């Protein structure tokens, strides 16, 4: 059973789709597999293509969602990652990968998110 949030950095749409399918085969439920890109439109497109979810108010909480309306896109992306259990320092590093056009695939074990375990991070970039 998966007990920690898992995060993968992918370089393109096909890699993201493969990672989503792999996580599903490993036992993550589809409604707990998320994608994130630097733009909201990109995230919507990737989510539709891969069948993954987007991080919404249900995961973030009402206060974070409202605060995101007034944040920069970078701050909003980091807040979304933090809502899924990614530590602040790692969220900052991952946000810089999004700046480069990468796609994040995140999976949580359930609605009860535990702190991100760095050992579960899977790098797909060199």
What would the pLDDT profile of 6-56 be if each residue is shown by its tens digit? 999 999 999 999 999 999 999 899 999 999 999 999 999 999 999 999 998
23 contacts 33 by C-beta, under 8 angstroms: yes
31 contacts 23 by C-beta, under 8 angstroms: no
Report the pLDDT value the prediction gives residue 125, as an integer from 0 to 100: 41
Report the pLDDT value the prediction gives residue 124, as an integer from 0 to 100: 47
Report the pLDDT value the prediction gives residue 3, as an integer from 0 to 100: 63
Please write the tens of the pLDDT for every residue from 48-82: 999 999 998 888 888 888 887 888 899 999 999 99
Sign of the CA dihedral running 9, 42, 22, 12? negative
Helix axes 13-25, 40-50, angle to 10 degrees: 50
Largest CA distance in the chain: 38
């Amino acid at each position: 059973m998966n007990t920690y949030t898992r995060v993968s950095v992918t370089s393109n749409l096909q890699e993201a789709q493969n990672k989503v399918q792999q996580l599903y085969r490993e036992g993550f439920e589809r409604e707990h597999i998320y994608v994130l890109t630097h733009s909201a439109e990109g995230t919507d497109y990737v989510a539709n293509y891969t069948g993954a979810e987007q991080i919404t108010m249900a995961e973030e909480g009402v206060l974070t969602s409202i605060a995101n309306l007034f944040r920069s896109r970078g701050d909003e992306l980091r807040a979304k990652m933090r809502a899924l259990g990614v530590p602040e320092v790692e969220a900052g590093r991952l946000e810089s990968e999004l700046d480069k056009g990468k796609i994040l695939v995140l999976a949580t074990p359930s609605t009860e998110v535990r702190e991100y375990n760095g050992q579960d991070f899977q790098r797909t970039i060199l």
